Structure 1
Amino acid sequence: MSIDHPKIVDAIGTERATGDVDLTIADQRDWSDVVAHLRALQEKINSYLDFLESGDVFREYPAAKEKKMKILIIFRYPPPAGDAFVFLARAEEFVRERGFGLAYRVSETPA
């Protein structure tokens, strides 16, 4: 899946090292249109928050009960400096205020 399908959770799993639950967003888009990219990413993050806050996560993934949970964004292409990083910092704070984590990284697989 991708950020083009905002209502679908791309992947969910438990980190071996920590036992925390990651809800992964697979961001395959390039950054040719930064504004559209960030809007789509915001919609996807909001959808994930709805999934977490509604408790649907526990029905779909019972192993999440009593675990720390975070949204993990894996970018295929590195975010450009500027607006993208401002957005990510604000998104991280917004998600944290709701009791969850948010992290991101660039895929280790070349684009």
Structure 2
Amino acid sequence: MSVEDKNIIDIITIDKQGVLVLTISDHLEWNDENEHLLLLQEKINSYLDFIENGQLAERYPDKADKKIMIQVVFKYYPNKTAEEFLAIVKRFLSEKGNAFDFYKLEDK
């Protein structure tokens, strides 16, 4: 499971504050920035579809009332263009009432 598997939720957890965290595992380097960003955007969109079309509530009815965060865990830290994209994603998800976060694996 990874950013390349756009129709699969990589990891679902509940953090210490009770937030339902949907994690994207991104192991790709940033050599082909455009392709990488496209894959990441598609994966985030599939997570949003999972939330918004009711699949989350259907599969996990006991977790459907929790605050939701989409999180990306990178093996390679995003470049400047990717960071700009991630800032846009964060604003967009915030407007929809969802949280967003990302970090490089060794940073946590």
TM bucket normalised to smaller: over 0.9
Number of aligned residue pairs = 107
Percent of matched pairs sharing the same residue? 40
For residue 89 of structure 2, the aligned residue among 71, 85, 91 is 91
Runs of 4+ in 1 over 6 A off after TM superposition: none
Structure 1, residues 6-64: CA drift from partner, whole Å, max 9, x if none?
1110011111x201100000001111111110110000000000001112112222332
- How high is the TM-score relative to the length of structure 1? 0.90
- How high is the TM-score relative to the length of structure 2? 0.93
Q: Mapping of 1:62-73 within 5 angstroms?
A: 62-73=61-72
CA RMSD after TM alignment = 1.3
Distance (Å, rounded) in 2 between the aligned partners of 1:40 and 1:2 = 10
User: Which moved further from structure 2: 38-47 or 64-73?
Assistant: 64-73
Q: Which structure shows the bigger proportion of residues in helix conformation?
A: 2
**Structure 2 unaligned residues grouped into runs of 5+:** none
